[in-house]
Amino acid sequence: MIRYILRRILFMFPVALLVSFLTFMMIHLVPGDPARVLLGEYATPQTVAALDRQLGLDKPLPVQFVLWLWQALHGNLGESIQLQQPVVQAIGQRLPVTVELGLCALLYSLIPAIPLGIYSATHQRSLGDWLVNVFSLISTAIPVFILGLALIFFFAVSIRLFPPGGYVPFTQDPLANVRDLILPMVTLGTGVVAVNMRQIRANMIESMGQDYIRTARAKGLSERRVAYIHALRNAFLPVLTLIGLQIGSILAGAFIVETIFLWPGIGQLTIMSILSKDYPVVQGVVLLAAFSYMAANLLVDICYAFLDPRIRYER
């Protein structure tokens, strides 16, 4: 087991290096001189040169990358141009907001998906199965920003049940925090509910056809026990992989949800920074997003290997 984990981590190093390089290269994709773009057309050559030096753009490319990486490894991702504070600090202040939103949405995406997926797999071609499938098709076709605006319109503008946006930290007022959380969480998680449900349904149908299910039925177990204990346990494994994949879409979705619901998280920070061309912040967020996505998938792989011994001995 430990050998498997070590090998996976070792395998991640070249990819992580390449990911860092791609993120670093972002600023070099900027057409023209980034410092000039940042300072506007009336900047004097002296100020442009000074900003070039501050961003490290006056050195050869490989040297720049090594320096940037060295600084990043020491927790220094540069200074935000707009906010006049270190990028790490700017991200760190807003990270808890995004993590709260993301984790709650992930949890919300699983809770209804499991019973609905099982129901629709065990009642194939029933009215309930059809309804579940229609819901799943429609909710995957609605983009996050439309769902968010629709929920605001129905639940904040029309019946004023929830606030249309805003954020109160949990430590300051837990109740207000939960009230602010509901609409963003539902907005972010609903599309994922559908994907999870489809996956659980497909896996359940597959595992219901296996030999051990026939054996369980032959033993005289109740259909409910067969479905919930025997089939579900095996149907749940692929869902784990799916969660790993979805952390990416939840993270990206959180960016949009934060913009719509005015949550002061890293998503709002990123969009703001992109629009004001604050490249160091965008670089920092992209790097953080990629690395947390990689870490999440590593964790999923490890859990998977833990639950299914066959994987440990592959390759």
**Footprint of other proteins on this chain (CB under 8 A)?**
14-16, 18-19, 22-23, 26-27, 29-31, 137-138, 140-146, 149-150, 152-153, 157, 195, 198-199, 201-203, 205-206, 242, 245-249, 251-253, 255-256, 259-260, 270-271, 273-275, 279, 282, 285-286, 289-291, 293-294
Q: Which of 111, 137, 100, 143 is nearest to 253 (CA)?
A: 143
The least CB distance from residue 174 to other proteins, in Å, is 28
Rounded to a whole number of angstroms, the distance between the first and last alpha carbons of the chain is 14
In whole angstroms, the minimum distance from the beta carbon of 58 to other proteins comes to 19
**Closest distance between other proteins and the C-beta of residue 219, in Å?**
27
Smallest separation, CB 125 to other proteins (Å) = 11
Integer angstrom CA distances of residue 181 from 4, 42, 154, 307: 39, 44, 16, 33
Q: Pick the closer one to other proteins by CB: 87 or 251.
A: 251
Q: Which is nearer to other proteins, 186 or 266 (CB)?
A: 266
Q: Residue 101 or 282: which CB sits closer to other proteins?
A: 282
Residue number with CB closer to other proteins (29 or 127)? 29
- Hey, how many other C-beta atoms are within 10 angstroms of the C-beta on 90? 24
CB 202 to other proteins: min, Å: 4
* Alpha helix stretches (DSSP H) within 219-278: 223-225, 232-235, 237-261, 266-275
- Rounded Cα distance between 247 and 233, Å, is 22
Would you tell me how many other CB atoms lie within 10 Å of the CB of residue 280?
A: 22
CB 27 within 8 A of CB 283: yes
C-beta of 149 vs 213, nearer to other proteins: 149
